[in-house]
Structure 1
Amino acid sequence: MGVGNELKCDDGVGPYIIRRLKGEIIENENLLFIDGQTVPENFTGKIRKEKPTHLIIVDACLMDSNPGDIKIVDKDDFVNIGISTHSMSLSFFVKYLEKDTDFKIIFVGIEPKSMDYKDRPTEEIAMAANEFVKILKGIIA
């Protein structure tokens, strides 16, 4: 699941990654790509219906690191990172999904360079996102 606002430059890195994956890997009964934009909570029913073994959430987040740094973020650290363009906090979203489910949720944060209004990620973030896509393809393809 990619999360973020595509009109705010690097905040759109999650949806950017999902578009890339959809263009390069065919979805099947074991693989689903969700572009959650700024409303990932709209997909809780679909996620629960699919009963996944894993859910990987990718989003731009302020982790006080270098632009393009990619980090798996522990759900308990959500309060220490900046994720602010979504209508529901991702912490609450993850807690809701974990209720009465047993799948593993992995949150991947990518440090943004710019959150200005622009309809595509900066070059550094696009390069990091493309590298992440390669890594995912190597794991799931």
Structure 2
Amino acid sequence: MIVLGVGNDLKCDDGVGPFIIKRLKEEDIEDENLIFINAETVPENFTGKLRKENPTHIIIVDACLMNGNPGDMQIVDKDDFSNIGISTHSMSLSYFVKYLEKDNDFKIIFVGIEPESLDYGENLTEDVEKTAFDFINILKGIIL
């Protein structure tokens, strides 16, 4: 399984994906079947690695505008990408996911977290940071 954090950590809550990956790496979880990738704003740069590793699952974590409350977290269906707002990435995540699915059998799960602020700043807002730690604990409960 690969967990891929996407976002710009210089734009407050848009950095929730990289924040989660950094914290997971600090946990020093030892599992040869688990890889954490901080893709920042260029997840397409990791398509080669993702295909080479050929994981059973890829979990993509990113801030996205879903018309919810700050910190709301939900699994977003790939068919709903056009209904959510993700604007800090150089490649559309819907194209990214379609490309990854081509000729591959892995399951892709997209977890969106509603941001409060996308202004310039290096810290997450309180609600988004709480959700980030909730996600980390949920993931650890599943994999450990």
Residue 28 (structure 1) shift: 3.1
Alignment correspondent of 1:40: 43
In the alignment, the residues of structure 2 paired with residue 30 and residue 4 of structure 1 have an alpha-carbon distance, to the nearest angstrom, of: 24
Q: Aligned-pair RMSD on alpha carbons?
A: 0.7
What TM-score, normalized to structure 1?
0.98
- Cα deviation for residue 8 of structure 1 reads 0.3
Deviation of residue 123 (structure 1)?
1.1
Structure 1 counterpart of 2:46, one-letter code: F
Q: Please give the alpha-carbon distance, in whole angstroms, between the structure 2 residues aligned to 1:102 and 1:25.
A: 28
> Any idea what the Cα deviations from partners look like across 1:21-64, whole Å, max 9, x if unmatched?
11114243200000000000000000000010000000000000
Report what 1:54 is aligned to.
57
Aligned-partner Cα distance in 2 for 1:85–1:65: 19
1:1-141 to 2 correspondences below 5 Å? 1-141=4-144
CA contact (8 A) 1:9 1:118 kept: yes
Of residues 26-35 and 71-80 in structure 1, the stretch that sits farther from structure 2 once superposed is 26-35
Extract unaligned runs of 5+ from structure 2.
none
Work out the percentage of aligned pairs sharing the same amino acid.
74
TM-score (norm 2): 0.96
Amino acid aligned to 1:81? I
Inter-partner Cα distance in structure 2 for 1:80 and 1:99: 22
Gaps (5+ residues) in structure 1? none
